[in-house]
């Protein structure tokens, strides 16, 4: 099962080699030592949020489900590992039949998280769980970083739509994942057709400066675009002189012109001037779209401007200065023997500095105050307190190797809006600050 089961057209190819080599050499050593079948629990968490951020956003969960389901070692992959001398024969034989048959629990996609939140918990034998580390982290670290930036931009934009248009600013495959994550975080459309094709995200796009420069005059360019796309199109008006371009745009398209786009200059000043000019020309319903290296701070600075929509590229696909969430994948519990019923015992890395971890299979809940607003992220390893049983955050994602939580992307997007709304108001401040919720370990 993969994205095609939601009526989407693209399946995920084998993800088996989206793996650091030491995952497989650990597997080989564990098989040889007889510890590979010990029941184990790994958890994904981050020790800190990026500096100044007040909450994180879980994104990429749906892609993780696809990746685990398609983690398969076919003959070509096994031949590569054999020819390189990376693994011995018994390990290659074991991988030939690899299927993840364990359980994965996690925060549902779109939920918010904080330092120490057990965002994902992977349970199975050591062998089947350890090999998933790199692919799970690469997806969650990237997608959650983009979604967090997108969420902050959505807060800054308020009710004004956001367009993701960063495909040319990142790796071509990362661009597709980034568009998906930005949509979860609150963006409305993307310019990336591969993202629209794969994830059914609405797409948008009209023309660039090259189209204007191709023609003998700006009027010719506008006429060609309107003739093709209709008067409801968006005309780019900053190739030469904005004032003259706006006048020409309304003359060509009429007062029903859909929108004009401004991609350079002092956006605040120009937007006010363009709005006044459009109104004077009778194009009172023509919208103004602004682009040009926007981030959440630039968007916030335009809150009082007569702007109707924002297009964001570089800053959203790169996490607005924080391209990773520094999530880690740590063994937190394991059995002392290979028998399925052997009890688990907590294990944890002890380290000087900030890289230690807390052992034990964890649950997580969000405690609410008397007004129903979140006041703490509570993480524990023992019984769940009675007052928190209705606030548990983790849900089953994979049970017995079968995906049980695949959902439409719009469900994740709606969940994020609701989760963010349940945080204290200070969560939406763009000024630097500490996480808006403390994490309490019990």
Q: Which domains does the chain have, with CATH numbers?
A: 3-131+326-359+390-427 (3.20.140.10), 159-315 (3.20.20.70)
Average pLDDT of 19-27?
A: 97
pLDDT at 387 over 50: yes
User: What per-residue confidence (pLDDT) applies to 1?
Assistant: 41
Average pLDDT of 60-89?
A: 96
User: What per-residue confidence (pLDDT) applies to 163?
Assistant: 98
Q: How far is CA 231 from CA 256, 271, 274, in A?
A: 6, 21, 18
Average pLDDT of 344-364?
A: 86
User: What per-residue confidence (pLDDT) applies to 350?
Assistant: 82
pLDDT at 212 over 60: yes
Confidence of residue 164 (pLDDT cuts 50, 70, 90): very high
- Per cent of the chain over pLDDT 90 is 92
Confidence of residue 248 (pLDDT cuts 50, 70, 90): very high
Q: Are 324 and 141 in contact (CB under 8 A)?
A: yes
User: What per-residue confidence (pLDDT) applies to 245?
Assistant: 98
pLDDT at 371 over 70: yes
pLDDT at 9 over 70: no
Residue 245 makes CB contacts below 8 A (sequence gap 6+) with 218, 235, 237, 238, 239, 260
pLDDT at 6 over 90: no
Average pLDDT of 317-331?
A: 97
For the ranges 80-94, 208-222, 335-349, the lowest mean pLDDT is seen at 335-349
- Average pLDDT score, the chain: 95
pLDDT at 7 over 60: no
Q: Are 29 and 110 in contact (CB under 8 A)?
A: no
């Amino acid at each position: 099962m993969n994205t095609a089961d939601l009526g989407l057209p693209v399946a995920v190819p084998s993800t088996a080699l989206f793996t650091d080599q030491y995952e497989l050499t650990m597997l080989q050593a564990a098989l040889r030592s007889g510890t590979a079948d010990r029941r184990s629990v790994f958890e994904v968490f981050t020790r800190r949020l990026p500096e100044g951020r007040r909450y994180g956003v879980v994104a990429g969960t749906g892609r993780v489900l696809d990746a685990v389901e398609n983690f398969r070692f076919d003959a070509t992959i096994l031949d590569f590992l054999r020819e390189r001398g990376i693994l011995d024969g018994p390990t290659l034989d074991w991988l030939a039949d690899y299927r993840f048959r364990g359980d994965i629990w996690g925060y549902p996609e779109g939920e918010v998280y904080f330092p120490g939140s057990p965002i994902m918990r992977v349970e199975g034998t050591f062998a089947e769980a350890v090999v998933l580390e790199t692919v799970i982290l690469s997806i969650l670290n990237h997608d959650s970083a983009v979604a967090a930036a997108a969420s902050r931009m959505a807060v800054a934009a308020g009710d004004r739509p956001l367009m993701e248009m960063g495909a040319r600013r990142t790796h071509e495959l990362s661009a597709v994942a980034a568009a998906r994550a930005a949509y979860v975080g609150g963006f409305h459309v993307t310019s990336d057709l591969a993202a629209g094709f794969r994830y059914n995200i609405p797409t948008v796009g009209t023309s660039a400066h090259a189209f204007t420069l191709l023609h003998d005059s700006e009027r010719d360019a506008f006429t060609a675009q309107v003739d093709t796309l209709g008067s409801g199109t968006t005309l780019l008006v900053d190739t030469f002189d904005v004032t003259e371009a706006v006048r020409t745009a309304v003359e060509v398209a009429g007062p029903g012109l859909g929108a004009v786009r401004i991609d350079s200059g002092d956006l605040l000043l120009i937007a006010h001037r363009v709005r006044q000019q459009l109104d004077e020309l009778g194009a009172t319903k023509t919208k103004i779209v602004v682009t040009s290296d926007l981030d959440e701070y630039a968007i916030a600075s335009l809150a009082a401007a007569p702007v109707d929509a924002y297009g964001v590229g570089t800053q959203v696909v790169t996490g607005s200065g924080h391209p990773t969430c520094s999530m880690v994948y740590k063994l937190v519990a394991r059995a002392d023997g290979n028998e399925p019923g052997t009890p688990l015992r907590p294990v944890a890395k002890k380290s000087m500095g900030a890289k230690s971890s807390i052992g034990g299979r964890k649950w997580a809940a969000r405690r609410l105050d008397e007004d129903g607003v979140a006041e703490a992220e509570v993480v524990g390893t023992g019984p769940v307190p009675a007052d928190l049983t209705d606030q548990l955050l983790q849900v089953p994602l994979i049970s017995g190797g079968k995906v049980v939580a695949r959902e439409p992307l719009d469900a994740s997007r709606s969940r994020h809006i609701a989760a963010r709304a349940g945080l204290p108001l200070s969560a939406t401040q763009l000024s630097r600050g500490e996480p808006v919720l403390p994490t309490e370990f019990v």
